[in-house]
Structure 1
């Protein structure tokens, strides 16, 4: 069983005089560190090494405070000690179990107990020169270094202590870096798996999307989108934005997207679907002030027209050959989800035509700055930007990539708000979506 540890710190604070604190664990008070060695250690290199001594692990546990940097353990210390840490638990129980079952403890068991007792302190193993093999094994078990008792003097010990402390700090830093990297990779895989995979098999529409979270080093923000094709041939597209930029908002956005997909595949649309989504939001949000804007578009099987619902969200941009890009009607929409109990969201029919591109976006695309001042790009600036890029021959993925890149450039760097934009194309450049 693990030895109880007295509130270990990640890193011990060095004394104000730049010295170090050494805890010596050996059962002979007149052992290797007695006499002149003590005096030499306390003033080596002009930086004192404070020494505490303990005869067993019980005493060591009492003396092991956050300002201890290194532990010198005599490997000759009996491993079957009866002086238990914490008043009869831990080491004593482990030893008593071994006696009862007649299973001898490992000869390095005391070292293992010390490593459990002091996971954040450097540990030096002290042994006889004739026992070099066990000393090397002690390092493999977890000690930073070993010293031979017969060759020990203040200079050697001073250097060994400082080397062990620095090596422990380096090992701890490397371990924390590895753990952080693994956590980041796991989070990236998790967030990447939560991004949508459009279900458009059998549709003639071409799909493209770009997504940029506002949170630093995140893959997922409070913006969300999705696109599915139901068995009747209708293509349903949605884009939304949960207020806020933290992980809670990102999680809520994922919940709303998944709920939208399930409800859409179950046959709901328009006001009925948004009313149900509002109930989901009200039950899942962490705060009653949290709300979400939403835009849904249901494109008819023939692709000529669509039904649109707006819940406090910017209207999509429609692009058609020979016509200036323009926004679909913004009037007549309903409030954002979560603002008004019992709200309604009317479904408006819009004509699309034979050849068209429909761009849906969140306000992260239009609220970036233009230059060093406070002026925002806005919907008019976005329309001009897209119109110019379309005239340059951009479409689909290239159009979205160029648009997002220019919006960031106008802002002078990364956008602080989440950004999502999707594009559905029907016409000469469209190809069947077979995913």
Structure 2
């Protein structure tokens, strides 16, 4: 007996139930012309909107399945090239098979039950079927199969979300900085394409009081890049905690990158900052990455004359430290290129704004200068919640979610007379609000 399936729901929460007006493409696999005519007449009597196709053998049916997007198969179990359950098994072995209703001339229920156990959605006995029963069986079979597909899709989505969360936790760890006077503000927003990126950051304080900070970006998007980013960040933290000399860390991280990369052309840009124990200066290592921004009364790029190659680029040259003296209070903003690659939205009040002059249709990038201006604006409104406010300002300038993911790490020190605890915040923008 056919029973109503539990009404499924689409991933957006709307009911996904067949309506009487929905067109159902049905493939009848029947070698007997008389039975085929009878089935066609019964479907005409049923209250189902059907587009009927016919095959007289299983091989022909398999060929037609490649030509038509079929919702349901009506299958006779006695075909010239398939007898019994072999036809059911072959049809069910296809990827994403359509709904399947078996037609049998046997009045006993054993063969029909066996067909359902083999993957069919229902069975009907020839000679005991009217139009309403046939139409209802087809509709229920399609609805049941659709519900199963949606449940599988929901499960896969939940699994992917869980995997993404695990990867993001590996990419975006909790900073290991015990000096409470050091401010550590971090943030990450995914790109509007929904793909997980390979941006990562970290901050670790060593036993000698120095603080090592890192931000990196794996070229490309997707789970492979995210997994590689998580691997490299873990390797970097391990090397830092093992008291490896700072100038030896990037070469060793590259040794991890080369065998772990999914493709030989994958490269990674990195920025490593070593804050001295007395907080008076930093050693800066750049591997194809942008220098940090120095945040004091105003915002500027940290001066540097040395920018080494990205990790994974097969050319000569390494990475050397460049020392920069800092006057307290100071803060450094390490960031990935998702922020400066943002394009400017057009101002409706000023036609033509947001486009490159002389290049119609080409959007102007925010660039480093635009990011400096955005950060300056937010510094003027105070330092609290700086990372989130910068993200929001860049999004507003872009006119919506960024095309690329972006990560930010701000580390700062108020000076030797600082009494208050440094700000510790994390903006991991994975909510619905940030995807709109």
TM-score, reference length from structure 2: 0.70
Is the partner of 1:228 in helix, strand or coil?
A: strand
Alpha carbons 2:298, 2:379 under 8 Å: kept = no
Q: Which runs of 5+ in 2 are unaligned?
A: 1-22, 66-71, 346-353, 357-363, 427-436
Is the partner of 2:62 in helix, strand or coil?
A: coil
Alpha carbons 2:55, 2:61 under 8 Å: kept = no
Shift of 1:296: 0.8
Give CA-to-partner distance per residue, 1:274-297, whole Å, 9 cap, x none: 222233333333444432221111
Q: In the alignment, is residue 402 of structure 1 matched against residue 389 of structure 2?
A: yes
Which structure 2 residues correspond to residues 12-51 of structure 1 after superposition, within 5 A?
Answer: 20-23=26-29, 38-43=36-41, 44-45=43-44
Shift of 1:231: 2.0
Match of 1:373 among 355, 366, 389: 355
Q: In the alignment, is residue 310 of structure 1 matched against residue 297 of structure 2?
A: no
Aligned length: 367
User: Which whole-Å CA distance do the structure 1 matches of 2:367 and 2:52 have between them?
Assistant: 65
- Structure 1 pair 18–200 and aligned structure 2 pair: CA distance change class (3 A): closer
Q: In the alignment, is residue 430 of structure 1 matched against residue 421 of structure 2?
A: yes
Match of 1:57 in 2: none
Shift of 1:143: 4.7
Which structure 2 residues correspond to residues 284-323 of structure 1 after superposition, within 5 A?
Answer: 284-320=260-296, 323=297
Q: In the alignment, is residue 359 of structure 1 matched against residue 333 of structure 2?
A: yes
- More strand per residue: 1 or 2? 2
**62-71 vs 420-429, which moves further:** 62-71
Alpha carbons 2:59, 2:81 under 8 Å: kept = no
Give 1 or 2 for the bigger CA radius of gyration: 1
Match of 1:194 in 2: 170
User: Which whole-Å CA distance do the structure 1 matches of 2:103 and 2:280 have between them?
Assistant: 80
Match of 2:121 in 1: 144
User: Which whole-Å CA distance do the structure 2 matches of 1:147 and 1:332 have between them?
Assistant: 78
- Structure 1 pair 251–215 and aligned structure 2 pair: CA distance change class (3 A): farther
Q: In the alignment, is residue 213 of structure 1 matched against residue 202 of structure 2?
A: no
User: Which whole-Å CA distance do the structure 1 matches of 2:258 and 2:192 have between them?
Assistant: 24
User: Which whole-Å CA distance do the structure 1 matches of 2:26 and 2:156 have between them?
Assistant: 29
User: Which whole-Å CA distance do the structure 2 matches of 1:410 and 1:309 have between them?
Assistant: 30
- Structure 1 pair 198–365 and aligned structure 2 pair: CA distance change class (3 A): same
- Structure 1 pair 282–39 and aligned structure 2 pair: CA distance change class (3 A): closer
Give CA-to-partner distance per residue, 1:279-335, whole Å, 9 cap, x none: 333333344443222111111223232221122221111223xx3222211212322
Match of 2:378 in 1: 389
Match of 1:89 in 2: none
CA root-mean-square deviation:
4.0
Q: Which runs of 5+ in 1 are unaligned?
A: 1-16, 54-59, 78-82, 87-109
Alpha carbons 2:184, 2:422 under 8 Å: kept = no
User: Which whole-Å CA distance do the structure 2 matches of 1:235 and 1:71 have between them?
Assistant: 70
- More helix per residue: 1 or 2? 1
- Structure 1 pair 434–232 and aligned structure 2 pair: CA distance change class (3 A): farther
- Structure 1 pair 264–411 and aligned structure 2 pair: CA distance change class (3 A): same
Is the partner of 2:253 in helix, strand or coil?
A: helix
Match of 1:418 among 383, 398, 405: 405
